[in-house]
Every structure is written in structure tokens, then in C-alpha cells.
Amino acid sequence: MSEATQAALDARYTSVSVALRQRLIEVVLQAFGSRGAYRGADADAFVEQVLPIVLGAQQQMGALTDAYLSGMVGDMFGGTAAARGVQIPQSIRGVPPEEVYRRPFVTVWTSLSQGKSLTEAVRQGESRLVSVTGTDLQLVRTEATRQVLGGDSRVQFYRRVLRGSYNCAMCVIASTQRYRKEKLMPIHPGCDCGTRPLPAGQDPGQVIEPDLLEAAHEAVAKGTGQTDRGGRLPDYRDIIIDRQHGELGPLMALRRDNFTGPSDIPGR
């Protein structure tokens, strides 16, 4: 097992996948912002324009994840590192993608019906578009990981890998644990964590980074005045932790996501 090789695989996968995510979000936001109007016909035109790009990026993310994990498993256990050839469904959520990428327009319409200005309504639509696009790519990662690791009896456990300097407290805490591959990677909207397999026969125990775990709980308690190791009070998904410069820094922000329900959507 080569730590140098695995570190290089991690770095390369992170660099390429982050760049792919950022570029896709830039493209869909540009297309969304160039509509000029946000009526039903504009939503149809937007979906027709961006959906081939989105689906292409999802296939690319699946292939990248396949190559990364296959290379990692190959280096850990020896033998071939050839990609398995994962199959990524177009309806990664189990919902037609045409419906999913129309939802940012629904957010605009809902905001306008609530008396928001067009500028604010579009801003909220953009926020939802970023969440939808990023979450779909993460669902692709999850599906590709399930196919690669699920078909390899040598892999029993995995860990979550944080990407970037800022992560929600829930993800930071999850990254300190080891998981069985049968319970693969539950995510939340906006999550960009990766997965790294652990060698067969190596069970380091439930907590693999106790110092980071304690530091995360301390940061939550310091920033909010309360902590709950079950992650319920406060909601750890709403707490952003700064990990720049190798430190678990101070609490950075509280995030609040509001989602529309069926009763909130006006007819269009």
C-alpha cells in the first residue's frame, strides 16, 4: 500500500471533481440569469438548454469517481486498477431531471407570490439552482461509489473525506467515523464530501479521529452556546466550521435553508 500514491489520487480527484462542479454551476447560473423573464416558457427553454450539459457533467463525475475509487482499491490491495464502468441513471433522484431543473423557476414564482421583488426572487431561484446542481453531482458520486465498492468483497469499511476548507459540522463529525460499505454515504443538500475505502481486515473502531471530533463539538458549543452529540440541537447542518490552515477554526456562520411545499407553489 503506497500512501504517496493514495495521496496523489486523492489530490487529483479532488482537484478535477471540484473544478467540474464549479464549472457546471457557473454554466447553469449564466443560463438562468440570461433568461430576461421567468415565465413558464422561459423555464422550458432553460431546461432544454442546460439539461444536456448537466447530464453530461453527471456522467463525467461518475467516470471520475469510478476511476478514483478503482485506482485506490487497486493500490490498497494490488491487482488491476481498471475502472469498473459504472452506469449512472439520468433520473439520479428517481424524478425526471426536467422536473428537477424547473424547480428554481418555481422558487422564483413562489417568492414573487409572497411579495418579494424580482431581484430577490431571482436570487432565491439562483440559490436553489446551485443546491440542486451540486446535490445531483453528489448523488452521482454516491451511486458510483456504491457500484464500485459494493462489487468488491475486499472492501468492508469506508470513511468520509472532507473537501475544501469549509464544511458543515455534521460533515466534519461524520468524517471522524468509520462506516460499513452497506451504509454508504447519506448526504444533505450541498454536501460535497468524498469517500475513501479502508483496507480489508482493518477496523480501526467507530471513531477514527477523536481529536477532530472533540474539536468540532467544542466549536459548536462555543458558537451556539449549546451542543448535542446526536446533532439535533442545534442542527449541525446549519453550522459552518472553518478548517483553514490545518486548524478547526471558529464558528463561521449559521445557514438557514427554506424549502417550498406543495401549498406554497402558485399555479403557472
CB-count burial class (<10 Å; 0-12, 13-18, 19+) for 256:
exposed
How do the domains of the chain map onto residue ranges?
1-153, 156-258
CA distance 225 to 254: 13
- Residue 255: the pLDDT is 43
Sheet containing 239-242: order of strands: 166-168, 239-242, 251-254
pLDDT in tens, the chain (268 residues): 577 787 888 889 888 998 999 999 999 999 999 988 999 999 999 999 999 999 999 999 999 999 998 888 888 777 666 788 899 999 998 889 999 999 999 999 999 999 999 999 999 999 999 989 998 998 898 889 888 887 777 777 878 877 665 677 777 887 888 877 766 665 566 667 777 787 766 666 788 788 888 877 777 777 677 666 665 556 666 666 554 423 222 323 334 333 344 444 444 4
Alpha-helical (H) ranges within the chain are 3-33, 40-77, 97-100, 103-113, 118-150, 169-174, 210-224
| Lookup result for grid cell 433520473 | 91
